[in-house]
């Protein structure tokens, strides 16, 4: 049977300045890297339906992290070593060649989706456009004997004269962990053992997906997506989590000593992020702007899923800050609209356009921001100044998310609104909520307070259609 890519039947939710698929499905970002003058982002992709299916690697590149050009699919599954999918992984440049490392997914063929095995493979490209799978794949044919079949999402980097690979995995007691390999040539890999694992309690999850490990501001950060963490009061409320440990990596003993798990983004729609180091040294992250098993109404229109804005990471007091990269300012059209006012009750901050950046600077008081259309409220978030706490409510899900920030006399909120997403950055990225919303009418943004609040606002309309699709 000939397969045809899905067609887009309605563009009502198509995002204007985020990476989205031409059609079909997107999940995790993969292989985020810089090669030959371009940032490259790959992504888990199924072109033939707006549903998860045998995973391909979709591909887009950008010179400025703002304008993206999609390219032909980089990896297609179906070869012996990746029969049922090319799962998530990483990219690294060596001697002018771009190497991709990805997981080959294999079912045993008994129609049980949980009955599978996984291996690690490589593909390469000299032009950053056409990729060749390595003829001696798999480079790591099977999981080590102290592991279960969960063995995926390789991340590769260089440290001194060695290359290191970490792989998301599960130990034989069914607890999440990451394991490490070392290589001198990217082709032959030696198993070193676990780097870190769940503290032995199910509360840290049964499988750690999409690991990333890097140095940031003299510390090491281990970023990962644990499956199976139990919700705790106002934390870990999504189906799967994403977060990090700050600590130290000892390359001699290949172990990572770490602090407490912290969630990275407090919204409903954030998962499986990965980072890269830009040529100027910045650590930049992109995540999947969705969550497994959420409704994704855009499926009706022939597509599903998107990637977040690229975000710069930095550490302050062992806490991750995440803010949109500076390049995003290029999206602003004109000088913007700037106001200072004392707010009593309620004020309309923006309407008419989907693509907006809204910056609010509010002197410490309680307030609520609402995103709505003429018929209904879509979402709201409120600040409780006494407890330094944000509570976000999503109307379509009838569900709350929370975050607490350090005491501060001013609250700064930077919001990026697109056709069906809103990313909310609080106090320069100390706390972030990533959300999708669905409205067939451009949303209005309202600010309200019960007290008198001193506010400065800046609103910019943003460029749209920043992604071009390959023919």
Which two structure tokens, joined as six digits, stand for 236?
């870990």
Residue nearest to ligand FRU (CB): 87
Sheet holding 56-62, edge to edge: 303-304, 24-35, 38-46, 56-62, 68-75, 467-468
Nearer to ligand FRU, 298 or 430 (CB): 298
Region of residue 305 (phi > 0: left; psi between -120 and 50: alpha; otherwise: beta): left
Q: Where on the chain is the footprint of ligand FRU (CB under 6 A)? A: 27-28, 44, 55, 87-88, 103, 152-153, 209-210, 271-272
Task: Compute the C-alpha angle 42/45/51, nearest 5°.
Answer: 155
The b-or-e profile of 191-202 (16+ CB within 10 A means b, else e) is bbebbbbbeeee
Least distance (Å) between residue 209 CB and ligand FRU:
4
Least distance (Å) between residue 244 CB and ligand FRU:
16
Least distance (Å) between residue 286 CB and ligand FRU:
13
> Residues 273, 258: contact at Cβ < 8 Å?
no
Q: Which of 28, 212, 269, 418 is catalytic?
A: 28
Give catalytic status of residue 28 as yes or no: yes
d(CA 211, CA 367) in angstroms, rounded, equals: 37
Nearer to ligand FRU, 44 or 449 (CB): 44
Cross-strand pairs, 381 = 369, 392
Least distance (Å) between residue 402 CB and ligand FRU:
23
d(CA 63, CA 41) in angstroms, rounded, equals: 11
Nearer to ligand FRU, 27 or 439 (CB): 27
The label of the residue with tokens 């750690």 reads 208
The label of the residue with tokens 């045809």 reads 4
Nearer to ligand FRU, 209 or 298 (CB): 209
First-last CA distance in the chain: 22
Nearer to ligand FRU, 44 or 304 (CB): 44
> Residues 227, 207: contact at Cβ < 8 Å?
yes
Least distance (Å) between residue 50 CB and ligand FRU:
14
| Residues with a known catalytic role | 28
């Amino acid at each position: 049977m000939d397969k045809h890519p899905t067609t887009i039947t309605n563009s009502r939710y198509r995002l204007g300045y985020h990476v989205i698929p031409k059609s079909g499905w997107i999940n995790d970002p993969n292989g985020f890297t810089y090669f030959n003058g371009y940032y490259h982002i790959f992504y888990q992709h199924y072109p033939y339906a707006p549903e998860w299916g045998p995973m391909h690697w979709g591909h887009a590149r950008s010179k400025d992290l703002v304008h993206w050009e999609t390219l032909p699919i980089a990896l297609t599954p179906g070869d012996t070593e990746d029969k049922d999918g090319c799962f998530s992984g990483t990219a690294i440049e060596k001697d002018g060649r771009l190497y991709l490392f990805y997981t080959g997914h294999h079912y045993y063929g008994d129609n049980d989706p949980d009955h599978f095995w996984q291996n690690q493979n490589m593909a390469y490209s000299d032009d950053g456009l056409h990729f060749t799978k390595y003829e001696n794949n798999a480079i790591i044919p099977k999981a080590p004997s102290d592991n279960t079949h969960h063995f995926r999402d390789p991340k590769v980097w260089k440290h001194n004269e060695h290359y290191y690979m970490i792989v998301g995995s599960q130990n034989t007691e069914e607890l999440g962990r990451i394991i490490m390999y070392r290589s001198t040539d990217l082709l032959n890999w030696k198993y070193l053992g676990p780097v870190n694992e769940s503290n032995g309690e199910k509360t840290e999850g049964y499988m750690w997906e999409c690991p990333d490990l890097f140095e940031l501001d003299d510390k090491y950060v281990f970023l990962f997506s644990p499956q199976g963490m139990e919700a705790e009061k106002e934390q870990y409320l999504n189906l799967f989590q994403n977060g990090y440990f700050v600590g130290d990596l000892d390359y001699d003993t290949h172990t990572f000593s770490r602090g407490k798990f912290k969630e990275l983004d407090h919204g409903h729609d954030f998962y499986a992020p990965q980072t890269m180091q830009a040529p100027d040294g910045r650590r930049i992250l992109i995540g999947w702007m969705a969550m497994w098993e959420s409704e994704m109404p855009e499926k009706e229109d022939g597509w599903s899923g998107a990637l977040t804005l690229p975000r710069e990471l930095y550490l302050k007091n062992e806490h991750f800050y995440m803010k949109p990269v500076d390049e995003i300012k290029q999206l602003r059209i004109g000088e913007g609209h700037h106001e200072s006012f004392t707010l009593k009750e309620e004020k309309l901050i923006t309407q008419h356009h989907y693509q907006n950046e809204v910056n609010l600077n509010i002197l410490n008081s309680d307030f609520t921001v609402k995103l709505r259309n003429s018929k209904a409220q879509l979402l709201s978030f409120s600040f409780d100044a006494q407890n330094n706490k944000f509570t976000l409510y999503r109307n379509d899900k009838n569900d709350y998310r929370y975050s607490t920030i350090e005491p501060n006399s001013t609250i700064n909120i930077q919001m990026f609104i697109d056709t069906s997403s809103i990313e909310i950055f609080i106090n320069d990225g100390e706390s972030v909520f990533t959300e999708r919303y669905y409205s067939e009418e451009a949303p209005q943004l309202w600010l309200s307070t019960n007290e008198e609040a001193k506010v400065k606002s800046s609103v910019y309309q943003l460029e749209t259609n920043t992604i071009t699709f390959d023919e």
